[in-house]
Each structure stands twice: as structure tokens, then as C-alpha cells.
């Protein structure tokens, strides 16, 4: 995850880095939010992601919140596969400028997020470094089939689990010295959609799923690329998060930029077979349908003025 989506170079670097390793015969991934590893007949979900103070801790975010976030990014990846988080490891690289209190705050924040997600911190390490927290989360599938990025088919519906843009609004509020506490909270204390991921996977109706940690546009493009499909997202269907309108008015940042082009958003984007709509309604998960899967190969944003192609990167 990043405050902004990965740029093309970074994406290409990951692909090249993955091209030199042996493919794993018993795992989904690399390439998904998490890997599924078969361990003695029982599949284990594993996700790893790091955050850095420089890149992921805007002014106004406490070290406790930074710790929460370092855990949340990993639990979110478990959630998007439909896994139940069990354990988390953390490896901290701490600069000289941080004291014991800050390190304890980071650990405490991560532990609170683990508690919220039903998991425990089981190990880790702290050593001198530039200010990074690298987390790895482990989860259980409990008989559910993992939701991947690869199963979307033309005709499926596209949905998100909640309103969009508040983390971006929080970021711009901080940058401009504006007071929008709800938006700032959504940025600083992101909620991994664990309950929702488990419930969605349990329906059997979901054909693909990804979290929005790199923003909606990147998430949609990733599902299109992995599933070899297209996607039409209807602008007016997008649920707007708290403070997005007000922050946009006060800062001049377009609402749409906040809603589709900003990382640090932790709702789930998923596709599902229309036949399964009733099972989704019965699942107890709140969601908004925002578009359809097409047989094209583009992800498009459909507005009253026509459709435009979504791109990786900033908007």
C-alpha cells in the first residue's frame, strides 16, 4: 500500500523481480494480495507488506496509529482472500531519532489492530533501521475457497464494501491544516474488512476480490489484468465517504481523485455472479454495486459524458 498508487516503474520492477524466481507449485500467488500455502492438508493464508515512516506516516498520524496501520495493511490482504487472521509477525527498523516510547507505541498500535482482527502478534524483531515496519500476517481459510483476483467473468457485477475517498480527504485535510477528524481517522486508523471478507467468501458467489490499498482505479485494473476482462465502473454509483465533498470544496482537489486514485483505502472491491445476489444480501455485508465486468480488456469510468479509460498511477 502507499498513500498514492504505485507508479508504472514500481509495478514493472515487481514483475521483473518475480520473473526470476521459481513458480511455487502448491500456492496461489505471488501476484495476489496473499499467498495460500498448503500445510499438511490445511491451507494457510500468508500476506506480507511493509510501511515506512517516510512514506506512510503523514504529519498528524501518531506512532500508535502508524503501528495500527502496519498491522492493518496485512490483515486487509488476508481479508481480501476471505481468510481469518490468526497471527502477525513484525520486523521493525528503528532510526536513532526514535525512543523506546515510540517503539512501544508502534507495537501497542499493531497489537490493538491484531486484537480488533482476532489475531495475536507472535514474533518479530527490532533493530536499527531507517524507520520501517514489515509485517506478515497468517490466516486460516476454515474450508472457504480463497477469493483471488483471477475469477471475474464478463457479466459479473462489481461492488465495494463501503464509501470511498475519506482517507484521501483526511490526507488533504492534514496537508492543508483543516480540521476533519472523521476523515483523518479513516486515514490513520484504517479498518481491515475481515468480517466482510469472511462473509463474502462464505457466500460462494464472489468471483474475485481485492482490497483498495492502492486505490480503486488500481484495484479495478488489477482484477481486469489478472482475470483478463474489462470493467465499467459507473461514476454516479460510487459511494462517497465522509468529508470528501467538504475537503474537495476547501482544497480544490477533485472528489473523483480522492475516490479512485488514492491508496490507504481499505474497503474491498469484489465481483460476483448475478445469480448470487441474494446470498450476498443474506450475508450481512453492506456493499454498493458500482459497475459490471465486461468482455473488453479495459477498466473504464462511465460518466454522463461518456466513458474514459482508467489508468494506473495518480489522477
Give me the residues that bind a copy of itself (CB under 8 A), please: 2, 6, 10, 13-14, 16-22, 24-27, 29-30, 32, 34-35, 37, 39-42, 44, 46-50, 52, 55, 86-87, 89-94, 100, 103-104, 106-108, 110-111, 114-115, 120-132, 134, 136, 138, 140, 142
Task: Give the alpha-carbon dihedral of 274, 279, 285, 289, to 10 degrees.
Answer: 10
| Whether the Cβ atoms of residue 308 and residue 300 lie closer than 8 Å to each other | yes
Closest distance to a copy of itself from the beta carbon of 82 (Å) = 15
Comparing C-alpha atoms, which of 206, 218, 309, 198 is closest to residue 260? Answer: 218
Q: Indicate the residue among 24 and 175 with the shorter CB distance to a copy of itself.
A: 24
Count other Cβ atoms within 10 Å, centred on residue 286: 11
Rounded distance between C-alpha atoms, residue 152 and residue 231, angstroms: 10
Q: Indicate the residue among 20 and 59 with the shorter CB distance to a copy of itself.
A: 20
Q: Indicate the residue among 71 and 253 with the shorter CB distance to a copy of itself.
A: 71
For residue 178, report the phi and psi dihedrals to the nearest 5 degrees. -95, 155
Q: Indicate the residue among 54 and 182 with the shorter CB distance to a copy of itself.
A: 54
Q: Are strands 299-303 and 230-234 parallel, antiparallel or unpaired?
A: parallel
| Whether the Cβ atoms of residue 275 and residue 153 lie closer than 8 Å to each other | no
Q: Indicate the residue among 42 and 278 with the shorter CB distance to a copy of itself.
A: 42
Q: Indicate the residue among 134 and 242 with the shorter CB distance to a copy of itself.
A: 134
Amino acid at each position: 500500500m502507499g498513500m498514492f498508487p504505485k507508479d508504472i516503474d514500481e509495478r514493472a520492477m515487481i514483475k521483473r523481480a518475480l520473473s526470476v524466481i521459481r513458480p511455487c507449485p502448491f500456492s496461489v500467488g505471488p501476484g495476489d494480495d496473499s499467498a495460500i500455502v498448503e500445510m499438511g492438508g490445511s491451507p494457510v493464508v500468508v500476506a506480507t507488506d511493509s510501511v515506512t515512516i517516510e512514506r506512510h506516516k503523514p504529519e498528524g498520524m501518531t506512532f500508535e496509529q502508524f503501528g495500527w496501520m502496519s498491522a492493518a495493511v496485512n490483515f486487509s490482504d488476508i481479508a481480501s482472500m476471505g481468510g481469518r487472521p490468526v497471527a502477525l509477525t513484525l520486523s521493525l527498523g528503528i532510526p536513532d531519532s526514535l525512543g523506546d516510547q515510540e517503539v512501544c507505541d508502534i507495537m501497542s498500535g499493531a497489537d490493538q489492530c491484531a486484537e480488533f482482527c482476532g489475531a495475536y502478534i507472535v514474533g518479530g524483531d527490532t533493530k536499527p533501521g531507517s524507520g520501517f515496519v514489515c509485517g506478515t500476517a497468517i490466516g486460516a481459510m476454515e474450508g472457504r475457497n480463497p477469493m483471488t483476483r483471477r475469477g471475474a467473468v464478463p457479466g459479473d457485477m462489481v461492488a465495494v464494501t463501503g464509501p470511498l475517498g475519506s482517507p484521501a480527504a483526511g490526507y488533504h485535510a492534514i496537508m492543508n491544516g483543516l480540521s476533519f477528524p472523521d476523515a483523518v481517522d479513516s486515514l490513520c486508523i484504517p479498518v481491515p474488512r475481515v468480517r466482510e471478507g469472511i462473509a463474502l467468501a462464505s457466500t460462494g458467489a464472489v468471483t474475485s476480490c481485492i482490497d483498495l490499498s492502492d486505490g480503486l482505479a488500481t484495484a479495478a485494473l488489477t482484477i481486469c489484468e489478472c482475470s483478463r476482462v474489462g470493467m465499467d465502473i459507473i461514476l454516479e454509483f460510487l459511494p462517497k465517504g465522509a468529508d470528501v465533498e467538504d475537503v474537495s470544496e476547501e482544497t480544490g482537489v477533485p472528489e473523483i481523485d480522492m475516490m479512485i486514485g488514492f491508496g490507504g483505502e481499505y474497503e474491498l472491491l469484489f465481483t460476483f455472479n448475478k445469480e448470487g445476489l441474494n446470498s450476498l444480501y443474506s450475508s450481512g455485508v453492506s456493499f454498493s454495486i458500482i459497475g459490471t465486468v465486461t468482455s473488453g480488456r479495459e477498466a473504464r469510468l462511465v460518466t454522463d459524458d461518456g466513458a474514459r479509460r482508467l489508468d494506473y498511477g495518480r489522477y
